[in-house]
Structure formats: C-alpha cells, structure tokens
Structure 1
Amino acid sequence: MSDTQNLIENRPPSVANLFLERVAKTPDGEAYRYPVPPASGQGPDDWKSLSWGQAAERVFAIAAGLIELGVQPEERVALAANTRVEWILADLGILCAGAATTTVYASTNAEEAAYILSDSDSRVLIAEDAEQLAKARERRAELPGLKHVVVINGADAQAAEGDPEGWVLSLDDLEARGAAYLEKNPESVKERVAALTKDQLATLIYTSGTTGKPKGVRLPHDNWSYMAKAIAQTGLCGPDDVQYLWLPLAHVFGKVLTSGQIEVGHVTAVDGRVDKIIENLPVVQPTYMAAVPRIFEKVYNGVAAKARAGGGAKYKIFLWAAGVAREYAKVTQDNFRRTGKASAPFGLSAKHAVADKLVYGKLREAFGGRLRACVSGSAALAPDIGYFFAGAGIHILEGYGLTESSAASFVNPGEAYRTGTVGKPLPGCEVRIADDGEILLRGPGIMQGYHGLPEKTAEVLEPDGWFHTGDIGELSVDGYLRITDRKKDLIKTSGGKYIAPSEVEGQFKAVCPYVSNILVIGADRNYCTALIALDEVAITNWAKEEGLSSTAYADVLADPKTNALIEGYVTELNQGLQKWQTIKKFRILPRDLDVEHGELTPSLKLKRPVVEREFKALVDDMYAGAREA
C-alpha cells in the first residue's frame, strides 16, 4: 500500500477528529483571518486573526452550548448565514457536538427556508441576523421541532411577542452557556467527538433544483474526512499558503475547502462579501483561492472594458496581449504534456515578456501579487478565458464534483494542468464513462443518498456504489476528464443535430466583454437562438464612451446601438461554429439574471427552464413564423 493510500484509507472517522489533531499540532499557528468593519463605518476594514487554539476555545464553547440545549448526536442544527468566520466555528461546533449541519443560503426565501428546516427536522437554527431570524419567526407555526434560534449578530437577538421563552438567544449567549457547561463537564465535547462513527450524518446540503422542492443530500462524517485527506494529497496547497475564502459555505464547494484547510493547516482569510473581493485581494494577498467561472469572466470583462476606455491604442495593446497570452498558454501546456517542461519558442517568449510588462503584471497585482493558483469549479470555464489567465501567470486549475460527491472529485494537477479539462480524479475516486457518455463516480466522497427520498436515491445511486452524475464527458488516455455538457441540457435540433449549449455559451463569453449571462436555445427547433444578459458596469461604461443619449442601464439595453454592438459579437462567434450551432437570432434581456428571481442557483449556475419560462415571449418572438434551415 502506498503512503497516499495509507493516509487516506486509515483516516479518522470525522473532520472533528482532524480538528482536534490540528489544534494539538499547531495551537499557536494562525488559523483564520476575518474583517472587522470600522466603528465609524468609514475607511478600510481591520483584519483580525484567530489561532487554532483560540478557534478551538470557541468551537468547544459552541459545541457544549448545543449539548446544554439538549442537542443529541445526529440531530440537525441549521446554519443560515453568509460566509464569515462564525459560520466555520459554528459548523465545527455542531460536528464536535456530534450533531449534523443543515446548510441554508442566506438568500433563501422564507418559504423555502421553512421547507428545509422542516424536511431536515432541524432542532436549532444558527441565524446570521434579524433578517434570517424573521424568516424562521414568520414560519414558526410550521416548525414545531425548532426549539431555539441562535443569532450571530448579538444586537439582533431580540425576542418578540409570541416567541416561546428562551427561543431566541445570541451566539455570545450560547458560547457563555457552553463555557459554563464545560466547567462542570470538561470532557463532554471530547467524549462526543470520540463517539463519532464514519457513517453518522455530518451535513445535509439541499440542492437547488430547477423544478420542484430541493433535495437534501446526506453527507456522513467520512465524506469530509476523506476529502480533507485527499485534498492534502494533491499537493495543491501547503501549510504556508494563505487561502482567500469568499464562496458561500452553504454550498458544497465552499464547505469542502474548510475540511482541506484543517488537514493542511494553512491560513484562511474569510469574507463572503462579493462586493469586497477586489478591495480585499491586495490586503489579504492570497497564495491560493477558489472561485466560480463568473468571477473570472467579470475580471476579464472588466480588464477589457478598462483597456477600451483608455482609448484605441490601449485597447489594441490589450487585444494583442490577450492573444499572446492564449498562444503562450497553449504552447507551454502542450510542451509540458510532451516533454515535462513548460517551454515556448524564443519569439513567442519575447512577445510574452513585453506583454507581461504592459498588461499581465498589473493583472497579477490586482489579485494581490502572490497568487500561485486558483481552483475553478461549480460550472464550466470558457477555455479562451482560462488560456488568457494562464498566459498572464494566473493559473486556474479547473476541478469537478457535485454536492452528491462532496464537491471535489477531480482537479487539475498543479504544473501539469490542462485548460479545458477538469483534471484527474482525486486519490480514492473511481470514474467510468457509460455507453451514452455519462460520467459515473464511485468512492468515499459519494453521498449516502437523498434525505427521506429512497426512490430518488435509487435513480442515481446503484447498489454497487456507482453514482450517475448526469454530466457528459470524455476521458483522455492519461486520465484527464473533459466535461462536454449536462446530460439533460444537451439539445437536439429538429434536424437531428446534437448541440452542447454550454460550449457555445462559453465561446461567446470569451468573445464578448459585455456579456453577463447567455442562454442558447434550440431543442426541437430548426435553428439556435440566444437570450443575452449584459453586465451593467461594462455596458454602461461603453454607453458613456459612445455618447448615448441616456446611460441608464435599462435605456442602454434598449438602444439600437447596443443591439448592433452585440450583433457584431454574435457574428464573430458564428464564424467559429458549425452551421447547425450558429446563433441565427438573439434578444438582449431587459435586465441581468439573478438569484433573487430564481434564474441562477446560489452558486451562479443557470436554471435553464426558469429563464425560458420567464422570457417565453422573447423566445416565441425569435421563432415566430420561422422557416429557416
């Protein structure tokens, strides 16, 4: 047995065990950094730190507080909050109490939040603020099993008329109760951790389906322990790294990063405010971070728009540099694959050096100047955007996984990464491609099943452990996986041609710097069309440069000049497509797509049926009286 197999197969039953091991190894080492806004509300945030020992004090107090409230092993404690250090501490407290975390996005509405709390039979809710408390209070009659709401923002922990006595308390109150309980029962938390078994439920994550109620994915303690060990074995991050964590922790992608960090022991800077990313990067100076493709698309579009605003000469330099970056990345990756050395011909290297001084260096500084690698997941990254960043020295390692596989099943291996693929399977993860192209996975990261839904579980999980992902893909001879589309998203035109819409959409995002979201339509139709949503900042800046009569977002979207601009990019896209893939007609949407309208999942994936229903009139108009081949 190899050292890697030994480390993974002889793993402890839970991340709670790994956390205690980490605290014992490096009690004074820095664990977490978090921002504290200035009291005046003006000026930059002050960043504070917690050592592993200090984090453990709070985690133990939360765990003991939950035990004191009567929470039993495997009972659910829900967490409804944005990404912040208290989310991680509370989650670890829940695990160390032997309970299971039910994750709830802060953006979830009261109706769906109540469904999740009820379906999971959560006994306690740890809520971020007054807004999350109000959702539970509004639906309290439907939640007889919810005994307490613990509010992270202490000032918001206000009882209201009709609340049962002791129903609302602050996180500070919970920790104080836990500290008092520990004084009388000093071994209580360690006893709960010692009693954990690998098959005990650790986390319930509800998938935001495009139709119907969300399904609770049951992830036992062993899933996270395996993930922690497997991530460490990839060598993608080491103990000296600084991770910037902003992804939603209610999502499996964000959650798995907390497990890997505990095993490796590096620092994590935590701040889920997406509008603060650009401000935080130069302060945190991360060496490693994970993101979804939309973030890289926005950065790329922002850089392109800024160059365009600088005048024709600057924009030409940017376009030249972007082309050099892509060529350089493709050549060096290809050479590494063949020779093991990421080399490029002298002429290309010389051009790359010039472009680095003019463009790439500034881009790296915007990311904090120390970034070694980014991991991209949750959706496909357009290869042209991936090649651009790779050539600019920002290495985006695409990965792949699902909620049902504890997030990380594949990731690109460091220097040997290949843009356009999601890399190789993590140690211990098996993969095979079914006859119809569907990717099947098996291994220690696969869920137990859907909570209370044995029939739904049987639809995707075979008795021998193979999980049907619903994604279509191809494996290279040396084990790199390329995702071509969602099985259910593949569309077949009335002419019998199959099209992977996400592939076309990705190509358009690389061509057009003003796009925010695009949906390609064509199932059972005789040609393809697209609904296109434009990025508000990028397109309104363009409108100002062009001197449009009104630069209000809605007016810019409706302006014929905007339509002509986007038509030019659609024409450019079509030149690189097969005839049956080309976009014959498009419509610019009157607003961007968002989570609030239910058109995007909280991890920013398109809900295709929802978008098509919402903008049915525009779709119908594009096909009205159609006779085109």
Structure 2
Amino acid sequence: MSTPRFDTLPAAFQHTAAIDPDAIALRTPGNARTLTWREYGDQVRAVAAGLAGLGVRRGDTVALMMTNRVDFYPLEVGAQHLGATSFSVYNTLPPEQLAYVLGNAEARVVICEPQFLPRLRASEIALEHIVCVDEAPADTLSVDQLIGYGTAEFDFEAAWRAVRPDDVATLIYTSGTTGNPKGVETTHANLLFQVYGLDGVLGFEFGDTITSFMPTAHIADRLTALYVQEVLGTQVTCVPDPAQIAAALVDLRPTVWGAVPRVWEKLKAAIEFKVSAEPDESRRKALEWALSVAADRSSHLLAGEPVPAALAVEWARADELVLRGLRAALGFDRLRWALSGAAPIPPQTLAFFAGLGLPISEIWGMSELSCVCSVSHPRDARLGTVGKLLPGMESRRSPDGELQVRGPLVMKGYRGLPEQTREAIDAEGWLHTGDIVEIDAEGFLKVVDRKKELLINAAGKNMSPANIENTVKASTPLIGAMAALGDGRAYNTALIVLDAETAEPYARRHGLPDAGAAALAVDPGVIRAISAGVAAGNERLARVEQIKRFRILPVFWEAGGDEITLTMKLKRRIIAEKYAADIADLYQHDLAAGVHEPRRD
C-alpha cells in the first residue's frame, strides 16, 4: 500500500499520529520515559493553543534551545501547527552569537532548559517570552503556564489547515566557517519532498527505530529524528549525551540509523581496541581471524570487484561464528541500512563496516538543500561515491567542476540576506554548491572537495585536503583531527590533533601517567604511532599528495571551538592564522622542535 502524500508537516503529523495511537512514538533508553502517539498528539494540541494564547501566529518564529529529550517534540511540533517557523539553536553558542542568530531569526519566543538561561540573558536579545522546561526561574514561563494560556476559543483544526506548503517551516544556521552563520529558510514543501524522496530510495516502515543524539540544530538530526518521524511514523529514542550513544544503541537495537563520519570512525576504533585488548587468547584469535576475513572481503568491495567464491564462503563462516555476535554486541543486529553524512568519510571506514556486514551508504547534501540531495540504497551503493541525486533533482557541472543543482530541495533563501541568496542561487534557479565533484556514466557522484578549500601547490597541482586528511586518519584511531597544508608550497605538511576519547584508553594501555594532549603530543610511543599512520596513509596517496612533515599539537580540538565547527568542519582560515608559527616551522629547512617526518618502524 502506497504512503499517502501530504504537503505540510502538520497534515502529515495528524495522519501519522492516528495510524496506531497507542504505539510508542518517543522514548528514552530503557523506556525510562515514553510517549505514545496519542499522548504526543494531545500535547501538540495543548502547546499550539498555549503559543496562540501568547500571541504566536503563522509566520512568527519560535526558537528552541534544548538537549535531545522527549519534551522537545511536542513543543517543536506544536509551534509548527500554528504555521510558526520553529528552529533550534546550538546549545554551545556564546552570548554574542546567540544574539546574532536570534536577532536574525526575529525570534519572538525562546523555549529552553534552565541551564542555558545565563547565556541567553547575557546575549541581551529582546524577547517577548522565555519558556523553561523542568523549572521556571523568575521572568520565565513554565510549560504548564504556557499551556495555561490556551483558550477554548482556539481553533486547532483551522490553525494547522491554514499552513501553506511554501511557509518557512524551519531555519538551519550554517556552520559559519567564513563569518556569521546564515539562516537557511526551509519550507514545508522542501521537507516533504526530502522525506518522500528518501523513503523512495531507502524505504522506511511505520515503527522503524532510530535515535536522536546529534544536536537538534543540526539538519541531519532534524531530518532523521523529527521530520521523518512526523511523516512516516518512526520511533525515536532520545539520547541527551552523545557519549551515551554506544549504550543507547545496544538498548534500542535500531532498524535504521545515521551518524556523522567521526562517530563511525570512533565505533571502528572501539572495535579494534576491544579486539586487541581481549584477555582471552582463543577469543582474541577468533576475533582477529573474523576481522581479517572481513578486511579481505572489504578490500574487494572497495575496489569494486566481485568477492571470490571461496572468500564468500569463508566470510559466511566468520559471520556465523563471530561477526553476527559482534553486530549484536554493537546493537546493530536489526539494522536494515545506515547512513553517513555531513562530511567526507574515508572509504576504508565504510569498507570496514561493509566487511562486518553492516550496510552503510554515504550521502551528500547541505543545509541549503534541506539536508540530503544524493543517496543510494546500500545494496546499490558504490564505496567512495555519495550515490545518485534524488529523483526530481537536476544537476550540472560548471567548467571548473563545481556541482550546481536545481529542484524542489533548494532553499527559499537566506533569512534577511537577499544579496547572499542571489550569490548562491542564480536567476535560473541553480544552487551553486561550492563542491567540486565527479559524476560517472551511471550518475554516481564523487565529491572531490570544497571549491574554496582545494590546495594548489607551487607547481599548480590541485589537491583535495579532505581526501588527504581522510586517507591518513583512516590509518590510526589516535588522530582526532588533521589539517593538511600545502597551498602555494613545494610539498604538503599537516597539523595533527590527537583524539580526546582515544587518548585515555591509549595512555592506560601503555602505562602512561598523563592522558592530556600536551603530554601525549611529545610521548615517543605516540609519535611513532602517528608517524607510522602517516606513512601508511602516504602509501595510498599520489606522491604529490603525500605528507612530508607533520606536527602533533599539544591540544584537543572541540566541536564549536576555534578550529572546528559544530558540524565538525575545519575552520581552515582560522587554523592558518592561529597556528601560523607551527606552520612556518613545518616549512623550515631544518626540522624545528616538535616537527616530525613520517617513517615506518
């Protein structure tokens, strides 16, 4: 039976909530808290009435500043039912950035947790109302008080039926790698086309289970854990702390799932560490054997070659004896498909999980395209590509290789920035993505890099820093972040930052008393391991791309900090300025202190 099509999120939600009202729509790990579709729908109605009582009308803006929690959903969806533009702000934004985002959005109401109030008040932004969940300090409203503003005269049906497809459903603020973030205006029509397009390629089922653990301001979380749920009826488990995701996966055993590359890389590193640290020798040997078979299988998949019959038989045996249990231990034994997106992922990482029997597809998209623009089902995917454009989207390449796309996913514009909107979308409706791509004869896309981030060396050779970085990072879990350098230079170098989560278990295993970044950056064992990893990565790079020298920085880089955006993209201009002295050392004729050259031991 085909899925009914709707043209606004409230219309879709009202249909979905009526399919099985007693089914659980939202939960926390262990079912500590649950919300059925009936309860969800009742709360949406009450929140919409309360917001209307506060004076919120169609076209007004409501901001949310909350962790991943069940309470978020009725508040967000309730605002949608008024035709309001409801959006999330990153919880880590400093007061000055909060002031910019909320001012640009023209937010009338902010709904937040008390822990975020000090920064919200420090922003000095003028707001009509602040609503607090959990408790309501002075000068704020509680959720119960908000709901109390609802009146019997409020016509809920008329309110949500008045919402139009071209109304702005949400604002997604870009990473801000080159200045203030821009608010992408995304309409109901954009999001409905997105959800139905994904469903057509991947296939969702009512009751499919998934987690919400990425920031709700991130378009990937909003799409997979909010809009898909409203339209297709998935069950969402809210995980407030991303560090708890591994345990949450075991609790939930999701049927569909997605994550950014860094999460997949951390899961890969955790598996490899677990195997190497297994105290039972016979069990460790069994795990090592199974992983070696998986690696052999994935090498063929990565090369686009058929898996030899004998290897397929051996893999089936490894799957029966070991890999099936490993997937269950990860919580992935029910997984039909998974996604990776928001940044490039090393093909070796995808191949690693393919070898384990976990079907992951790399996707490509951007906030200006409502999230996902190209994807293929894992059974059709090609490692190293980001699939094909969703049906209904058009593409073309400019002479310099930039991908330009046109179709129903393209944003309405940047909030309050008409000039920047015209720069992004030309008069014919083509969005200039800024990504350099290759497209093969069958329509599979391969993203080379951002147009503005390509390295052009002293000899005029164009190189992708992201490809260099991902190739090297795939060689060792110790590397948390890496910035490849070489623009206008005779050779490439790199600034390397250790992975904060891997550092502590590494130090413990090697008997090191200090797991801090400064201590590990000068530890001989760490330097040897990084050097070997860079050397291994170099073997998979063209000679001109190889890293000749590197420096391990005595710091960890945190998402939302100076060097990395909240969506895990490098702020390359800021890195170049902040670490100018370190970069200069890398290009001195003699090796400066702390500068290393890759070598195998």
The bucket for the TM-score relative to the shorter chain is: over 0.9
Deviation, structure 1 residue 508: 1.3
Q: CA offset at residue 485 of structure 1? A: 0.9
Give the aligned residue type for 2:50: G
Which of residues 22, 43, 46 is equivalent to 1:58?
A: 43
Q: State yes or no: 1:197 paired with 2:164.
A: yes
In structure 1, what is the equivalent of residue 149 of structure 2?
177
- For 2:377, the equivalent position in structure 1 comes to 413
User: What is aligned with 2:594?
Assistant: none
Q: What's 1:14 paired with?
A: 8
Cα separation, 2, equivalents of 1:381 and 1:356: 28
Q: Residue 121 of structure 1 aligns with which residue?
A: 106
The answer (yes or no) to whether the contact 1:517–1:534 under 8 Å persists in 2 is: yes
| Alpha-carbon contact 1:534-1:592 (below 8 Å) kept | yes
Identity %: 33
Distance 2:322 2:247 in 1: 22
Q: CA, structure 1 residues 549+102, in 2 after alignment: closer, same or farther (shift >3 Å)? A: closer
Contact preservation (8 Å) 2:228, 2:234: no
- Contact 2:402/2:435, CA 8 A, preserved across alignment: yes
Alpha-carbon distance in structure 2 between the residues aligned to 1:359 and 1:347:
15
1:409-446 CA-partner distances (Å, limit 9, x unpaired): 11122421222111122222222222211111111111
By how many angstroms is 1:332 displaced?
Answer: 5.7
- Structure 2: which 5+ runs fail to align? 592-596
Partner of 1:523: 487
Q: For 1:164-313, what aligned pairs fall within 5 Å after superposition? A: 167-178=139-150, 181=151, 183-185=152-154, 188-257=155-224, 258-310=226-278
Taking structure 1 as the reference length, what is the TM-score of the superposition?
0.88
CA RMSD of aligned residues (A): 2.5
| Contact preservation (8 Å) 2:472, 2:538 | no
Q: Could you tell me how far apart the structure 2 residues matched to 1:538 and 1:312 are?
A: 22
**1:219–1:448 contact (8 Å) kept in structure 2:** yes
Structure 1 range deviating more: 167-176 or 462-471: 167-176
TM-score normalised by L of structure 2: 0.92
Give the match for residue 455 of structure 1: 419
Secondary structure in 1 aligned to 2:363? strand
Task: Tell me, in whole angstroms, the C-alpha distance in 1 between the residues paired with 2:515 and 2:171.
Answer: 45
Amino acid at match of 1:574: N
Give the direction of change, closer, same or farther, for the CA distance of 1:46–1:239 in structure 2 (3 Å limit): closer
C-alpha change, 1:359 and 1:234, in structure 2 (3 Å) is: closer
Corresponding residue of 1:424: 388
Given the superposition, is the C-alpha separation of residues 611 and 323 from structure 1 closer, same or farther in structure 2, using an over 3 Å criterion?
A: farther
Aligned residue for 2:18, secondary structure, equals helix
Moved more, 530-539 or 433-442: 530-539
Match of 1:39 in 2: none
The secondary structure found in structure 2 opposite 1:541 is: helix
CA distance in 2, matches of 1:294, 1:250: 18
Structure 2 CA distance for aligned equivalents of residues 468 and 171 of structure 1: 42
Structure 1 unaligned blocks of 5 or more: 36-44, 160-166
Change in Cα spacing, 1:259 to 1:547, as seen in structure 2 (3 Å) is closer
- Mapped partners of 1:81, 1:277: distance in 2: 18
Displacement after TM superposition at 1:315 (Å)? 7.4
- Alignment partner for residue 98 of structure 1, among 83, 98, 101? 83
Indicate how the Cα distance of structure 1 residues 317 and 565 shifts in structure 2: closer, same or farther if over 3 A, else same. Answer: farther
Q: Secondary structure at the match of 1:422?
A: coil
Task: Summarize the Cα distance change of 1:483–1:515 in structure 2 as closer, same or farther, 3 Å threshold.
Answer: same
1:350 is matched with which residue? Answer: 314
Partner of 1:158: 137
Contact 1:278 1:366 in 2 (8 A): yes
Assess, with a 3 A threshold, how the Cα gap between structure 1 residues 541 and 402 changes in structure 2: closer, same or farther: same
Code of the aligned partner of 1:294: R
- The verdict on how the C-alpha distance between 1:365 and 1:437 changes in structure 2, with shifts beyond 3 A counting, is same
Between 1:326-335 and 1:289-298, the stretch displaced more is 326-335
Paired residues of 2:62 and 2:84 also in contact (CA < 8 A): yes
CA shift for structure 1 position 217: 0.8
Cα distance in 2, alignment partners of residues 114 and 135 from structure 1:
10
Aligned partner letter, 1:535: D
1:432, 1:440 within 8 Å by CA — same for their partners in 2? yes
Q: CA deviation at 1:320?
A: 5.6
Give the equivalent residue in structure 2 for 1:477: 441
Find the counterpart in structure 1 of residue 507 from structure 2.
Answer: 543
Q: How many residues align?
A: 590
Q: Deviations over 1:169-211 (max 9, x none)?
A: 0123212333xx2x333xx222121111122221112112112
Q: For 1:507-533, what per-residue CA distance to the aligned partner results, in whole angstroms no more than 9, with x for missing partners?
A: 112211211111111111111111111
Please give the per-residue CA displacement for 1:256-279, whole angstroms capped at 9, x wherever unaligned: 122222222222222241011111
Cα distance, 1:353 vs structure 2: 2.4
Query: Helix, strand or coil for the counterpart of 1:479?
Result: coil
1:561 positional shift = 2.7
